[in-house]
């Protein structure tokens, strides 16, 4: 039951000018711009991995071998789920079919997001085959950096500073205790059972 990233965020939660201001880099100097831009992406990807969530709108594909039994729900990881683009399944006769959006409901407030059959209905039968059910959805806090919680943004800035100032090695004694920096993320982490 893998979930695969189809498209990544089209913007970063921190712009180059914001990052340079945070790092106290002269705005006119451009010799480190490429490095800073890549470190912004590294910091975002690291926080997304630690939290098991998406910050800026990203498209995901969840595949399963069959629909859940007895009208069970499908968990859509990497919250917050913004929308379901489509649900496709391999019908018993082998036809790839797109499920009518009226046949399912999304609970986007749940984390992870929950997709369930519409009230009074059940999931259709599928051919028993790996990947017989596919759900493509968008997840993240939104399409802009302003939607990302401020505490996560602060962690990204701290990580960016650490990466930028210690780019040739890991800091043996980070300026900021790591427990504090990592504690900023605890509220937003998706904990596995």
Q: What is the pLDDT of residues 66-99, one digit of tens each?
A: 999 887 999 998 889 999 999 999 999 999 999 9
- Please indicate whether residue 24 or residue 186 has the higher confidence score (pLDDT): 24
Instruction: Give the mean model confidence (pLDDT) for residues 120-138.
Output: 94
pLDDT at 3 over 80: yes
pLDDT score recorded for residue 178: 59
Is the model's pLDDT at 170 over the cut of 60?
Answer: no
Q: pLDDT confidence of 50, banded at 50, 70, 90?
A: confident
46 vs 183, higher pLDDT: 46
User: What is the pLDDT, as a whole number, of residue 191?
Assistant: 63
**Contacts of the segment 90-96: beta carbons below 8 A, 24+ positions apart:** 90/126, 90/127, 90/129, 90/131, 90/132, 90/133, 91/124, 91/125, 91/126, 91/127, 92/125, 92/126, 92/127, 93/127, 94/127
Q: Is the pLDDT of residue 25 over 90?
A: no
* Chain centroid offset of residue 68 CA: 23
pLDDT at 138: 96
Tell me: pLDDT of 167 over 60: yes
Q: Judge if pTM exceeds 0.85.
A: no
Portion of the chain with pLDDT greater than 90, in percent = 63
């Amino acid at each position: 039951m893998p979930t695969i990233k189809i498209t990544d965020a089209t913007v970063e939660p921190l712009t180059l000018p914001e990052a340079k201001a945070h790092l106290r880099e002269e705005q006119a100097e451009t010799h480190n711009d490429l490095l800073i831009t890549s470190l912004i992406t590294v910091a975002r990807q690291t926080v997304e991995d630690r939290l098991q969530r998406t910050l800026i709108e990203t498209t995901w594909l969840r595949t399963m071998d069959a629909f859940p039994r007895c009208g069970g729900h499908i968990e859509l990881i990497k919250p917050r789920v913004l929308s379901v683009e489509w649900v496709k399944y391999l019908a018993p006769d082998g036809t790839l079919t797109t499920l009518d959006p009226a046949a399912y409901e999304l609970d986007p407030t749940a984390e992870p997001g929950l997709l369930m059959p519409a009230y009074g209905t059940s999931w259709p039968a599928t051919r028993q085959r790996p990947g017989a059910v596919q759900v493509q959805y968008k997840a993240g806090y939104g399409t802009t950096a302003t939607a990302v919680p401020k505490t996560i943004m602060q962690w990204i800035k701290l990580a960016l500073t650490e990466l930028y100032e210690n780019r040739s090695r890991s800091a043996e004694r980070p300026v900021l205790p790591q427990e504090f920096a990592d504690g900023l993320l605890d509220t937003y982490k998706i904990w596995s059972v």
